[in-house]
Amino acid sequence: MTISAFTLARRLRAGETVFSGWCSLPYPIVAETVGREGFIAVTLEAQHGLWDMGAMLTGVAAVRQSGAAPLVRVPVGDFAMVSRVLDFGAEGIIAPMINTAADARALVAAAKYPPLGERSWGPHRVTALAGIADQAVYLREANDHVVTLAMIETRTALDNLDAIAQTQGIDGLFLGPSDLSIALSDGKTLDPLSKDVERELDRIIATAERAGKIAGAFCHTAERAVALGKRGARFLAVMSDIAMLRAGTAAALKVLKAG
């Protein structure tokens, strides 16, 4: 028996490019709808998004029910939440502001069982959702099937890029282009497509590849996600539920007003 319900790590290991929805609205049915439209993964955004833990518990299950792989972006330094949402059934964690090898190790400690980390035992909901009758199977396979993505979005993280990438149990580097643009301009500009961010993105992709890890990024548009896939990034979060809702509404209103 294997964790056959988990698909994310397997796809990434096979070299596939995975596009993920990105849901800030704390409504499981919204995240499920995004998954049902065909995203391979859906990330529930709990750093700046509006999720509480009750909604998160149902949201993770709703994404799994849609056929997509659920991930969670946790708040800064909230490693307790990492273990909890993995217990709820998440397949991946995106952790913001991982600036040092020590931060990376703290993420791994919360996300992976020994010998890689120190994740505490209690996967009752995830094993039920994934149809794993024997919990020993989850213990044996979880470390390989849970994906940890360390967000690179500060100057300190860039200084420690190799050490973060090489941390055992970190599966990938994930660019936060908005925060990095603010950091690289010393707070002057928000420009996720700035030349400085572009240059560092190439370095992030190359560093991840050298370490045998994947690279990913948040993308404000689908076009950007396709372009970064061609540059070698393998996990791309695309727009957001709010952005999609606004874009769809604006497109309809444009037609109605032109009517």
Taking CB positions, which residue lies at the least distance from ligand 3PY? 176
Give the interface segment with Mg ion, choosing from 75-83, 169-177, 185-193, 208-216 (CB under 5 A): 169-177
Smallest distance from the beta carbon of 135 to ligand 3PY, in angstroms? 34
Among 32, 87, 103, 179, binds Mg ion (CB under 5 A): 179
Compute the distance between CA of residue 203 and CA of residue 157 in angstroms, rounded to an integer: 12
Q: Which does 200 bind (CB under 5 to 8 A by kind): ligand 3PY, Mg ion, none?
A: none
179: contact with ligand 3PY by CB under 6 A: yes
| Distance of closest approach, residue 54 Cβ to Mg ion, in angstroms | 25
Which residues contact residue 231 at a Cβ distance below 8 angstroms, ignoring those fewer than 6 apart? 201, 202, 205
The 10 Å Cβ neighbour count of residue 228 is: 23
The verdict on 117 binding ligand 3PY (CB under 6 A) reads no
* Near ligand 3PY by CB under 6 A: residue from 89, 123, 176, 229: 176
Cα-flanking dihedrals φ and ψ of residue 161, to 5°?
-60, -45
The least CB distance from residue 242 to ligand 3PY, in Å, is 12
176 binds Mg ion (CB under 5 A): yes
218 near ligand 3PY, rule: CB under 6 A: yes
Selection from ligand 3PY, Mg ion, none that 172 binds (CB < 5 to 8 A by kind) is: none
Determine which one of 48, 124, 145, 220 is catalytic: 48
Nearer to ligand 3PY by C-beta: 145 or 234? 234
Contact (CB, 8 A) for 36 and 66: yes
List of long-range contacts for 54-61, beta carbons under 8 Å, 24+ apart: 55/26, 55/27, 55/28, 56/26, 56/85, 56/88, 57/88, 57/125, 58/28, 59/23, 59/26, 59/27, 59/28, 59/31, 60/85, 60/88, 60/89, 60/90, 60/129, 61/28, 61/88, 61/89, 61/125, 61/129
Each residue of 12-49: b (16+ CB within 10 Å) or e?
A: beeeebbbbbbbbbbbbebbbbbbeeebbbbbbbbbeb
Verify whether residue 48 is a known catalytic residue: yes
Residue 177 binding: pick among Mg ion, ligand 3PY, none (C-beta 5-8 Å cut-off by kind) = ligand 3PY
CA distances (Å), 136 to each of 2, 127, 142, in order? 10, 10, 10
**Contacts with Mg ion, 55-94, as mask; x by CB under 5 A:** ----------------------------------------
Q: How far apart are CA 126 and CA 87, in angstroms?
A: 5
Q: Which helix (H) or strand (E) holds 93?
A: strand 92-95
**By beta-carbon distance, which residue lies closest to Mg ion?**
176
Q: Does 177 bind Mg ion (CB under 5 A)?
A: no
Selected binder of ligand 3PY within 70, 172, 177, 216 (CB under 6 A) = 177
The set of catalytic residues is: 48
**Binding interface with Mg ion (CB under 5 A):** 153, 176, 179
**Binding interface with ligand 3PY (CB under 6 A):** 96, 153, 176-179, 192, 218
